[in-house]
Amino acid sequence: MNLILLGPPGTGKGTVAQEISSRYHLPHISTGDIFRQNIKNKTALGQEVESYLNKGDLVPDDLTNRLVEDRLNQEDVADGFILDGYPRTLDQARALAEILENKKAKLDVALNVYVPDEIILKRLAGRRVCESCGDTYNIYYKKPEVEGTCDTCGGKLIQREDDSEETVKNRLKTYEEKTAPLISYYEQENILKTVDNSASLDETLAQVKEVLD
Ligand code: ADP
Ligand code: ZN
């Protein structure tokens, strides 16, 4: 099963993706995580993309497309994948279609994770990430067992630099301009499914199950 996840920042898309990944045994590919990992490790790619992430702007399409193409050519995705945070522009959606076509594969579902605007802001302000393993938490919605500490690995939980208020506003604006048009794009392809992630993660996952099984 080949899946992509759509939705503005702050819907809990990443958390939903992590859960789907473990339940359905699909490798979770998050372009945002890949970029942040490279920034942290000070790689050439990291240096190239850092300023875009800090401002909440999109990384240029050709760079992002090449990165995803490389990733999708690795062996572990032969039986399926879940892409989180890609595609984010129409150009990327077309590039993805071409990458898959070359592999004689196709997308099965574009899962749109919906949350009302008022909740989005609280989720972004409350988000914390493990600096060691990248697992995400939320001080309002998905608390770790011990405050400030990752349940999975015991690492320290921090706020992402691009979760600052100004950058968050820019990320939401960028989403509206560049990414929201993908909803009708995938609707036309007949693979768009929407789940509501404003209540509990369990309720969302029940909806996901209906859609995917
Ligand atoms: P969120 O969806 O919460 O904004 P992500 O982790 O998906 O967080 O992305 C963080 C940042 O990484 C984006 O603001 C952007 O700068 C960059 N990024 C991630 N995915 C893409 C993409 N597909 N195209 C361009 N830039 C991207
Ligand atoms: Zn951790």
- pLDDT bucket at 120, cuts 50 / 70 / 90: confident
Cβ of residue 64 lying under 6 Å from some atom of ligand 1: yes
Instruction: Kindly state whether residue 97 falls inside one of the protein's structural domains.
Output: yes
66 assigned to active site: no
pLDDT for position 165: 80
Instruction: Kindly state whether residue 83 falls inside one of the protein's structural domains.
Output: yes
pLDDT for position 122: 80
- pLDDT bucket at 140, cuts 50 / 70 / 90: confident
CA distance 110 to 193: 6
Host domain of residue 31: 2-116+166-212
Which segments of the chain are extended strands (E)? Answer: 2-6, 28-30, 81-84, 109-114, 127-130, 136-138, 157-158, 192-196
Instruction: Kindly state whether residue 154 falls inside one of the protein's structural domains.
Output: no
The single residue of 71, 123, 128, 171 carrying the catalytic annotation is 171
Of all atoms in ligand 1, which is nearest to the CA of residue 31? 20
Q: How many CA atoms lie within 13 A of 104 on its CB side?
A: 0
Q: How far is the CA of 181 from the centre of ligand 2 (A)?
A: 34
160 assigned to active site: yes
Cβ of residue 9 lying under 6 Å from some atom of ligand 1: yes
Instruction: Kindly state whether residue 143 falls inside one of the protein's structural domains.
Output: no
CA distance 29 to 47: 20
Of all atoms in ligand 1, which is nearest to the CA of residue 124? 3
Assess contact for 163 and 124: CB atoms under 8 A: yes
pLDDT for position 18: 93
Ligand nearest to the CA of 149: 2
The model's pLDDT over 160-200, given as tens digits with 9 standing for 90+, comes to: 888 888 888 898 999 999 999 999 999 999 999 999 999 88
Assess contact for 19 and 117: CB atoms under 8 A: no
pLDDT at 24 over 90: yes
pLDDT for position 7: 93
Instruction: Kindly state whether residue 125 falls inside one of the protein's structural domains.
Output: no
Q: Percentage of the chain with pLDDT > 90?
A: 79
Instruction: Kindly state whether residue 28 falls inside one of the protein's structural domains.
Output: yes
The model's pLDDT over 61-95, given as tens digits with 9 standing for 90+, comes to: 999 999 999 999 999 999 999 999 999 999 999 99
Q: Percentage of the chain with pLDDT > 70?
A: 100
Counting ligand 1 atoms within 8 A of each CB, the residue from 162, 164, 166 with the most, and so the one to mutate, is 162
CA distance 67 to 71: 6
pLDDT for position 123: 82
Please choose, from the candidates 148, 177, 179, the residue with its C-alpha nearest in 3D space to the C-alpha of residue 31: 179
23 assigned to active site: no
**Domain with 199 in it: what CATH number?**
3.40.50.300
Q: How far is the CA of 157 from the centre of ligand 2 (A)?
A: 8
Assess contact for 3 and 9: CB atoms under 8 A: no
Of all atoms in ligand 1, which is nearest to the CA of residue 10? 3
CA distance 165 to 44: 28
pLDDT at 29 over 90: yes
Please choose, from the candidates 166, 120, 143, the residue with its C-alpha nearest in 3D space to the C-alpha of residue 12: 120
Instruction: Kindly state whether residue 132 falls inside one of the protein's structural domains.
Output: no
Instruction: Kindly state whether residue 35 falls inside one of the protein's structural domains.
Output: yes
pLDDT for position 121: 82
On average, the pLDDT of the chain sits at: 93
Supply the pTM of this predicted model: 0.86
- Mean of pLDDT values over 102-121: 92
pLDDT at 141 over 90: no
State how many domains the chain has.
Answer: 1
Cβ of residue 15 lying under 6 Å from some atom of ligand 1: no
Ligand nearest to the CA of 154: 2
pLDDT at 22 over 90: yes
Beta-sheet strand order (sheet of 127-130): 136-138, 127-130, 157-158
